[in-house]
Amino acid sequence: MYYYSRLRDLREDNDLKQREIAALLQTTQQVYSEYEKGIREIPLHKIIILAKYYNVSLDYMTNLIDIKRRLK
């Protein structure tokens, strides 16, 4: 299973645009789009930023589990 589909799902579930998440990650919309498509691997420190932002576990963020576990 690949994590990049989860990136898009979380963003869309929160009614956000790619440019908004790109700004959060201090990157361009084009680079973030490549993360979502699996063209470019997202760095771990950016996955952590997103997990904190969406308040979900890294296991959920990386598609290892399907249950949204909230951060404590």
Please, what are the domains in the chain?
4-61 (1.10.260.40)
Q: For residue 70, is pLDDT > 90?
A: no
Q: For residue 2, is pLDDT > 90?
A: no
Look at 7-16, 24-33, 54-63 and tell me which has the smallest mean pLDDT.
Answer: 54-63
10 in Cβ contact with 47 (< 8 Å): no
69 in Cβ contact with 60 (< 8 Å): yes
What does the alpha-carbon distance between residue 56 and residue 30 come to, in Å, rounded to a whole number?
Answer: 24
61 in Cβ contact with 3 (< 8 Å): yes
